[in-house]
Structure 1
Amino acid sequence: MTDDTKTAANDYRDTLFLPKTEFPMRGGLPKAEPKWIERWDEMRLYDRMREEAKARGAKPFILHDGPPYANGPIHLGTAMNKILKDLVVRGHQMLGYDASYIPGWDCHGLPIEWKVEEEFRSKGRGKDDVPGDEFRAACRAYAAKWIEVQKQGFRRCGVEGDWDNPYLTMNFESEAATVREFLSVAMSGRLVRGSKPIMWSPVERTALAEAEVEYHDRKVPVIWVKFPVQGEDFSVVIWTTTPWTIPANQAVSFNPNISYGLYEVETVMSEEELGFAPFAAPGDKYVLADALAEAVMDSAKVSGFKRVSDIDPKGWTLSHPLNELSDFYKHDVPMLAGDHVTDDAGTGFVHTAPAHGEDDFLVWIANGHTASDIRDIVNEDGVYEHPELPEALQGLDIIRTSGKKRGEQGKANQEVMRLLTEAGNLLSRGVTVIRDAHSWRSKAPVIRRATPQWFIAMDKPGANGTAPLRDLALKALEDTGFVPPQLRNRITSMVADRPDWLISRQRNWGVPITLLVSPDGEPHTYALPEDKALEVNKRILDAIAAEGVEAWFSAEPAKFLDGIADPAGWEKVTDVLDVWFDSGTTHAFTLRDRGIIDEKTGQADVYLEGSDQHRGWFQSSLLENCATRGMAPYKQVVTHGFIVDSEGKKMSKSLGNTVEPQQVADQFGIEILRLWTASSDFTEDLRISDDILKTNAESYRRLRNTLRYLLGALDGYDEAEAVDARDMPGLERWVLHRLAESDALVRKSYAAFDFKRVMSAMLNFCGVDLSAIYFDIRKDSLYCDAPSDIRRRSTRTVMALVLERLLAWLAPIMPFTTEEAFLMSHIAGKADSVHLLTFPQTPDSWLDAAHAARWEQIFKVRRVVTGALEVERREKRIGASLEAAPEVYIQDTSLIEAFDGESPADIFITSGAKLIEGAGTLAAYHLDDTPGVAVLPKKADGVKCARSWKYFDPKTADPAYPDITPRDAEAVREIREAN
């Protein structure tokens, strides 16, 4: 053996290209992520994104942020919501848009006011003990504190935005803008004042909108009450679950289409049987719906009765069941016809108290009465209060508003039932469970109570004959895109059926209803000529812009009326606006006043919130903008579901199944939460658990390892090494085709907010196309081919193209990891951050369906070969696949032709391979899903290459390098000469 040969037989490790990178295998996300956020803040990343997008003339894309309440730390739901928005914004930025994002907060309203009340109560001061200005200052400070906490929480989630300039509904300019929008509605003629039943919270002493209540089951008393028919010896019987409303009764409703009968009691159950004496007595006569008579008699413990005759209640006048108790109840009780009366439950008659029920109010008005005729006997605390009420009822509460039993039944129901019993008009009583409205904040039941309130009319034409608000809103919804599309029907039905928008609240912390009411009871927007009303509006707006809402609360009417109208007799409205009106106007001061969209015609591209916002923010924004501009404020509405545990149960601290964002950040890193968000079908409820997060952590590991392998494989890569696509081998051109397919899918999916599809495509591309196929096949070329070899250069060129695209495609979902990888990559010089890039353009020529179909045929055969070799390894007949040289029998000649110009052994990662036309032997390996392909594994002949471990014929060796293949010898010579 010559000296040269000895040298050749030495270690070849210095001639192999082994991937090398400083990109670590483990991300260390919990510690690394905050440092990346610091870097982005230092480099003013958000501002840079805006500047560079504008410099390239990018089209704006606007996601308008729905404001969370500033009243506590973020939770998993708010974190997921913000992450989804970040995926939308980052995705569209990468698509080439100028995708700005201004975060915001809802700072007024009951959630904050309630918390501040609790703080004052803990110090021994009730709400009435605290001056209004002090209370509002405390609310402002409370909101400011939580805004900062939430801001840090959302920032930790990797959400990029204009965090230095968020919108806050409590900023003076925001409050002034909200007032401006309200006064615009008032000037449009859509504002009305009326006294009709609305949901009222005695605990919070304020009106509530539908969006501020939730429905729960509760146990309530149920009573059957007799209303004597004047001039007759019988009574009409009603049924109700609200005994406390009987003192407010003003009528009884019936349905002319119901069959009624006069029934006489013959026998009743004995006191011995029951343990109490029934209220019914033989000879009593009741008028009942025929369909319900038996059920009523059964409830009254009547054991025998007869139907006396048909009967028509039209035109009757009744006496109030408390008629003998007080002169207050000696009024006539008319019978009113109403379609809301049915005979599927109750008695076929409905006790009607117009002050305490919407149907009651409507039937009262429909029968020629007015709102001013309504008897209002319940005050803001939910307590009976009226100078003519009998002493026995004065001051009784309907619901307990304080103490440990807050929200439980007060004294009113029991006392009313006692008085009805004494009057002889209680027929029966019991207990039932109903599903009723409760305050979302206090969790206490609400009542229906008629009070003077301000409404935005849904069906009243606007000024100058403009269409009613309901018509405008329904038309706007037709023109709006929805994701998922079926939810268009949900909000459309809500708008079609909703009553007038109740916008007044009896609270301290909010934007005031800035109306001055004339001595005639008209708001200044109607009472004054238009030019003078506009001047008053300007004074109001200037004051609030300078001093905030306190400028209204502290002022007298004369401040705004002097020189315009005599202020004598004018009153200032002290109610505040529904907080949904506040949030419904955020587009005005966030997007329009900042010049982000056109004042009159502009729309945000998308609003994205949870499904509950179809009756909340989506709807209030729609109605407000339709009332002021005649169109929706958005082009698209995207809706996400709620978070549940792995079994589909709602998250609850009492169940111990909650997951906190900080907990995920500390244990896994927030990027795992982002992966979970992107991988879930957010249009449905999203399931989460520790196991689900671990699954996403595994997905992250696979993606990170793909990036790491590419970075290592591209160590030292230079553009001079690149090969034109036309000159690349077939496998590389197949990868380019897959890149082109993936590029189209990724772009389409980001544009459609389909992040789950992006994640599925990326995991499949990285796990199958790259790791299982391309990297596996080409690692030999990458490690062992000569640097100048066209195949190796093509491999590195394709890997560079893959890495560049993967970093961009994954950047919206994995902003931290892609930034880390980008700064270590060959394209780091293109920008200071991966987030300043856009998706790379992919040449149309890369897309080659015919070529891809050919390679699918090759991979079809490869799967059978791989399966056969797995069996050989399992049976320990071979170690590595390079020890094999299989014979592959193929019946379909087109499959053989697909390999034309390709090396089957390279594709199979074996030292040799033969493709043979035919069926093969019975002993050959085959797969049921790939008929016509059979593999006979055979061991490779020759000797094992000391460098690439391929088996080869030693007779073909280069004499200078007899222990390695000729290919390896050529590579070694080139490398050693270069060094």
Structure 2
Amino acid sequence: MTDATDTQRDWRDTVFLPKTDFPMKAGLAAKEPAILERWARIKLYSKLREARAGRERFLLHDGPPYANGDIHMGHALNKILKDIVVRSQSLMGKDAPYVPGWDCHGLPIEWKVEEAYRARKLNKDEVDPVAFRAECRAYAEKWVAVQRGQFERLGILGDWDDPYLTMKFDAEARIAAELLKFAESGQLYRGAKPVMWSPVEKTALAEAEVEYEDITSTQIDVAFEITHAPNAPELVGAHAVIWTTTPWTIPVNQALAYGEGIAYSRVPASDGRTYLVAFDLVDAFLKRTGLSLRDEASLPADDAGLMFANVLKGSQLAGAVALHPMHALGGFFARPRPFLPGDFVTTDAGTGLVHMAPDHGEDDFLLCKAHGIDPVFAVDGAGMYRADWLWLGGQGSVINKKFVSAEGPICSDLRAAGALLAASDDFQHSYPHSWRSKAKIIFRATPQWFIPMDRPSPLPLAGGAGGGPSLSTSEALADAGGPPPSPLPHAGGGAESNAPTLREIALDAIEHTRWVPERSINRIRAMVEGRPDWVISRQRAWGVPIALYVNRATGDYLRDPAVNSRILDAFRAGGADAWFQADHQALLGPDYRAEDYEVVTDILDVWFDSGSTHSFVIEARYGEGVRANLYLEGSDQHRGWFQSSLLESSGTRGRAPYDAVLTHGFALDGQGKKMSKSLGNVVDPLKIIGESGADILRLWVAQTDYFDDVRIGKEVLAGTGDAYRKIRNTFRYLLGALDGFGEAEKVAVADMPELERYVLHKLAALDAELRSAAEAFEFNRYARALGDFMNEDLSAFFFDIRKDCLYCDAATDPKRRAYRTVLDTLFHALVRYAAPILAFTAEEVWQSRYPSKDGSVHELEWPVLPEGASVEHDWTAIRALRQTVTEAIEPYRREKKVRSSLEAEVTVPTLPMPAEELTELFIVAKVDQAADVTVTPTDRHKCGRCWRHLPEVTQDGALCDRCAEVVS
């Protein structure tokens, strides 16, 4: 008890308030660079490798971004997620190195260097290739350095002193070695068939280098006069009609395709001609062309009667031939155009007849090839008809809208020849574009190098020479007057027919790989099931050359391990430039004459480069046969890096290069729209870091459901900032509440009050949930569980209840000691749990309590929690009752009948534990039992120190028994 004088005293100097220098205001933008410098100074990455040496290894193989431009939000999402995975695996005690890398070859970099050439009015083709390649290398080096700094600023911990670059000499040698494995086993052929081609960039493209955009094209209906029809002689003199949205392919037409099961009509038209069109498409044909049926007045009332009278089966078109509309030009155009049965022909649109240009379509190529018709290579790499082509020679480009429009030269010439029945520039559809130049692509048959998907693999070696003949470039372009020799697949020495194909090996590997999320297996499986042979050649300068020699007499490529060994030695010594500067006779050695061999100068598809990285990042560093535990990239990489890596490894090792693959979505703006400079909705990660710090971005990544597309904008970041402040405030409270805590103060679990044991029980459940989430790579679940525990179980519950104990109990009081012991346990667990996500803040928190010159929170391992935290009561029910009481008190607070819950006396229907304990848990003056929950303002006096309303306090401001004993 206290006297009257003491009731007027300010007792704040006797209260044990939390004490810490840890600021509530984060100031991350200023603090984080200093933390990065410290990590570099103490060589944190190297220290971790030494500490984890010999432990179970976890290898996340970094997919290489292009060394081209500042990083964007997609980069930030990807790299942060990787870092969270790696740090969490390290926290779980594993040796988890992270080797960052860059894709340094290919068109993105070459295109930028060419842009600089064009700005200076220079022609890249007139520059020495080695000199041009040197400029590309310098450009890549510049952006590697820039992006490295930007990635490090995100808090990404890795081997930044020794990253992998596809342009390093050893890497280029290993890429070439992987190619030669395919070559030596016969899994390589050169042939001419349509591939996706960019006339702007003058190279073949991979599917992953193409994006689809909606465009408006010219659609035309063209008539081909039928001159022979052995199974339907009544068709002679009629005109077969084709419909196309690529008028530029008409000058390369070689046949017409029909559907054997389709019904066709002979349509007597108002222009005096009879046209052959699919029965189901006659009305649409007449509407497009503006034609009508001939002699309508004499027709029966039901027009269908006439149509049925003129119907024939598609199979009757077998053996029929027609004239090309420009047959009067002679030469190529004078050859008859045969009708060929095609199972791809439908009546969904058009006329039910499809014109065939084997140079410019996969279906066209395969159907014509089966009937002995080969490509003619009329369109060159820039999209121009070659100069000696009889129709439109030297003209183009075929992707120029004016050139192919209804009034352009193609349509004008067809109109003059009486073959153009309809033309309009209004057909809307989706069309492939190069994702670099944004220009339309075409399908173009060119001599390219392929890895076959459906040939038995691997093929046995067959000595120094290759298998069957393949098409050489000179042969492909030699015969301007007619088609060149047909390219034959590389036979490869006769593999067993029951050997699995590359497609089968890859599909089997897919089934034995863990896909995260599980549904993503469907996407990769469908892509591999339906993909064509892999086009691995590019007609560019900056990359790893396809280092092969082709026998000029036979067309075979040389397969000699001794020659290949010399090639690889040269690459290791001088990089891929060695191929362009080589003494090829020296590389060929004494067994071959250089003049007998063509030196291949095409370069490898950059997807082959990146698909080979496992060989020089994983195997070269950790041992042959070792594969990555995880690949982690955006969902677009199912057709990119995930797939190229899968195919490369399946073809050389018979398996995938990874155990698991994680796919994340794309970063969209706050409204869910794709970010675009033209829309002005780009969210710059570097700006966010400069204003708010990288940990805000890191928390955003962890909180998103990144398996789908994610949003980021002002509102989203504001929510992330609020969540961060709550986490930071929890750590600040822990640091303050643990001021002066030492080992001597600790209390055994068995001696703790049940509330402390309950919180330890909840901590154990959290521990299991976080470990499960980390192992599943579900950091959205991880971050949510961690945040909920800090906010709901600690700040709003445990800390709230025990603040009276912390502030007012004696320092030696067993309950206060137990509380601080649990706080210490919580601190050590929570700072570890938070470290993978809030890499900088966790370091700041740790150093605030344990200052160290060379230590780091990131050297710690997963916490070991105390055992034996059992509870006797149903705490779920107790907390629900507490919530009910809190809600019942709230109206009294709003109406100012009570200023705080300490001034309220409550009744509850049941007492799940002694009333005195409930009084403390509910933070009220008194708890009694009654039928309903009721609230009554207390008439007890308030202790001047702890502010509790207790029966022994005789007047406001006097001390309760506990406080009187503590201050005495």
TM-score, normalised on structure 2? Answer: 0.91
Change (3 A) 1:302 1:10: closer
How much does 1:416 deviate?
2.3
Amino acid corresponding to residue 361 of structure 2 in structure 1: G
How much does 1:18 deviate?
0.8
Measured in 2, the distance between the counterparts of 1:954 and 1:702 equals 38
Measured in 1, the distance between the counterparts of 2:662 and 2:318 equals 52
How much does 1:293 deviate?
1.8
Amino acid corresponding to residue 919 of structure 2 in structure 1: A
Counterpart for residue 435 of structure 1: 430
Amino acid corresponding to residue 417 of structure 2 in structure 1: A
Greater Cα offset, 292-301 or 453-462: 292-301
Measured in 2, the distance between the counterparts of 1:201 and 1:865 equals 71
CA distances 1:479-531 after superposition (whole Å, capped 9, x unpaired): 111111111011101000100000000000011001011123445444xxxxx
Query: What SS does the aligned partner of 2:705 have?
Result: coil
Q: Decide whether the 8 Å contact of 1:681 with 1:756 is kept in 2.
A: yes
Q: Decide whether the 8 Å contact of 2:92 with 2:861 is kept in 1.
A: yes
2:672 to 637, 648, 654: 648
CA distances 1:157-188 after superposition (whole Å, capped 9, x unpaired): 11111111100000001000100111011112
2:749 to 715, 725, 733: 725
Amino acid corresponding to residue 453 of structure 1 in structure 2: Q
Query: What SS does the aligned partner of 2:293 have?
Result: strand
User: Equivalent residues in 2 for 1:713-752 (5 A)?
Assistant: 713-752=737-776
How much does 1:970 deviate?
2.2
CA distances 1:231-259 after superposition (whole Å, capped 9, x unpaired): 52212111111222112111111111111
Query: What SS does the aligned partner of 2:51 have?
Result: helix
How much does 1:58 deviate?
2.2
Change (3 A) 1:544 1:593: same
Counterpart for residue 626 of structure 1: 650
Change (3 A) 1:346 1:158: same
Counterpart for residue 782 of structure 1: 806
Change (3 A) 1:294 1:381: same
Q: Decide whether the 8 Å contact of 1:198 with 1:451 is kept in 2.
A: yes
Change (3 A) 1:139 1:412: farther
Measured in 1, the distance between the counterparts of 2:37 and 2:158 equals 14
Q: Which runs of 5+ in 2 are unaligned?
A: 229-235, 295-305, 461-495
Amino acid corresponding to residue 245 of structure 1 in structure 2: T
CA distances 1:892-931 after superposition (whole Å, capped 9, x unpaired): xxx42x31486222112223x2332x41xxxxxxxxxxxx
Query: What SS does the aligned partner of 2:59 have?
Result: strand
CA distances 1:525-561 after superposition (whole Å, capped 9, x unpaired): 44xxxxxx10111111000111011100122431211
Counterpart for residue 736 of structure 2: 712
How much does 1:111 deviate?
0.6
User: Equivalent residues in 2 for 1:881-920 (5 A)?
Assistant: 881-884=901-904, 886-890=905-909, 895-896=910-911, 898-900=912-914, 903-911=917-925, 913-916=926-929, 918-919=930-931
How much does 1:882 deviate?
2.4
How much does 1:130 deviate?
1.9
Change (3 A) 1:955 1:177: closer
Measured in 2, the distance between the counterparts of 1:599 and 1:697 equals 46
Counterpart for residue 272 of structure 1: none
How much does 1:129 deviate?
2.4
Q: Indicate whether 1:576 and 2:624 are aligned.
A: no
Counterpart for residue 175 of structure 1: 172
Measured in 1, the distance between the counterparts of 2:433 and 2:593 equals 44
How much does 1:219 deviate?
2.2
Q: Decide whether the 8 Å contact of 1:458 with 1:499 is kept in 2.
A: yes
Query: What SS does the aligned partner of 1:677 have?
Result: helix
Change (3 A) 1:540 1:914: same
CA distances 1:142-167 after superposition (whole Å, capped 9, x unpaired): 00000111011111111111111100
Counterpart for residue 479 of structure 1: 512
Q: Decide whether the 8 Å contact of 2:749 with 2:867 is kept in 1.
A: no
Q: Indicate whether 1:379 and 2:380 are aligned.
A: yes
How much does 1:38 deviate?
0.5
Greater Cα offset, 642-651 or 32-41: 642-651
How much does 1:855 deviate?
1.9
Query: What SS does the aligned partner of 1:452 have?
Result: strand
User: Equivalent residues in 2 for 1:136-151 (5 A)?
Assistant: 136-151=133-148
Change (3 A) 1:521 1:448: farther
Query: What SS does the aligned partner of 2:240 have?
Result: strand
User: Equivalent residues in 2 for 1:874-953 (5 A)?
Assistant: 874-884=894-904, 886-890=905-909, 895-896=910-911, 898-900=912-914, 903-911=917-925, 913-916=926-929, 918-919=930-931, 933-941=932-940, 943-953=941-951
Measured in 2, the distance between the counterparts of 1:507 and 1:797 equals 67
Change (3 A) 1:411 1:561: farther
Q: Indicate whether 1:418 and 2:412 are aligned.
A: yes
Q: Indicate whether 1:863 and 2:861 are aligned.
A: no
2:778 to 707, 732, 754: 754
Amino acid corresponding to residue 286 of structure 1 in structure 2: Y
Amino acid corresponding to residue 673 of structure 2 in structure 1: K
Change (3 A) 1:882 1:334: same
Counterpart for residue 161 of structure 1: 158
Q: Decide whether the 8 Å contact of 2:906 with 2:924 is kept in 1.
A: no
Q: Decide whether the 8 Å contact of 2:898 with 2:937 is kept in 1.
A: no
Change (3 A) 1:251 1:38: same
Counterpart for residue 303 of structure 1: 292
Counterpart for residue 820 of structure 2: 796
Q: Indicate whether 1:564 and 2:591 are aligned.
A: yes
Counterpart for residue 525 of structure 2: 492
Query: What SS does the aligned partner of 1:111 have?
Result: helix
How much does 1:95 deviate?
1.4
Query: What SS does the aligned partner of 1:860 have?
Result: helix
How much does 1:336 deviate?
0.8
Amino acid corresponding to residue 592 of structure 1 in structure 2: E
Change (3 A) 1:424 1:887: closer
Greater Cα offset, 555-564 or 782-791: 555-564
Measured in 2, the distance between the counterparts of 1:409 and 1:795 equals 81
How much does 1:291 deviate?
1.0
Measured in 1, the distance between the counterparts of 2:329 and 2:801 equals 97
Amino acid corresponding to residue 82 of structure 2 in structure 1: K
Q: Indicate whether 1:71 and 2:68 are aligned.
A: yes
Query: What SS does the aligned partner of 1:967 have?
Result: helix
User: Equivalent residues in 2 for 1:103-118 (5 A)?
Assistant: 103-118=100-115
Measured in 1, the distance between the counterparts of 2:19 and 2:731 equals 12
Q: Decide whether the 8 Å contact of 1:396 with 1:411 is kept in 2.
A: no
Measured in 1, the distance between the counterparts of 2:801 and 2:412 equals 89
Measured in 2, the distance between the counterparts of 1:547 and 1:148 equals 22
Q: Decide whether the 8 Å contact of 2:197 with 2:442 is kept in 1.
A: yes
Change (3 A) 1:940 1:409: farther
TM-score, normalised on structure 1? Answer: 0.90
Q: Indicate whether 1:121 and 2:118 are aligned.
A: yes
Measured in 2, the distance between the counterparts of 1:450 and 1:863 equals 73
Q: Decide whether the 8 Å contact of 2:4 with 2:958 is kept in 1.
A: no
Q: Decide whether the 8 Å contact of 2:944 with 2:957 is kept in 1.
A: no
Q: Decide whether the 8 Å contact of 1:321 with 1:423 is kept in 2.
A: yes
Counterpart for residue 353 of structure 1: 357
Measured in 2, the distance between the counterparts of 1:424 and 1:407 equals 23
Change (3 A) 1:794 1:831: farther
Q: Which runs of 5+ in 1 are unaligned?
A: 268-280, 401-405, 527-532, 920-932, 974-979
Greater Cα offset, 515-524 or 160-169: 515-524
Query: What SS does the aligned partner of 2:874 have?
Result: helix
1:842 to 856, 865, 875: 865
Measured in 2, the distance between the counterparts of 1:659 and 1:807 equals 30
Measured in 2, the distance between the counterparts of 1:875 and 1:8 equals 28
Q: Indicate whether 1:230 and 2:218 are aligned.
A: no
Counterpart for residue 928 of structure 1: none
Query: What SS does the aligned partner of 1:442 have?
Result: coil
CA distances 1:314-358 after superposition (whole Å, capped 9, x unpaired): 111222211112333111211111101112211111111111111
Instruction: State the Cα RMSD in Å.
Output: 2.2
Measured in 2, the distance between the counterparts of 1:556 and 1:319 equals 52
Query: What SS does the aligned partner of 2:591 have?
Result: coil
Measured in 2, the distance between the counterparts of 1:137 and 1:480 equals 40
How much does 1:746 deviate?
0.8
Measured in 2, the distance between the counterparts of 1:741 and 1:362 equals 61
1:292 to 281, 300, 323: 281
1:697 to 702, 708, 721: 721
Measured in 2, the distance between the counterparts of 1:261 and 1:951 equals 99
Greater Cα offset, 161-170 or 414-423: 414-423
Q: Indicate whether 1:221 and 2:218 are aligned.
A: yes
Counterpart for residue 50 of structure 1: 49
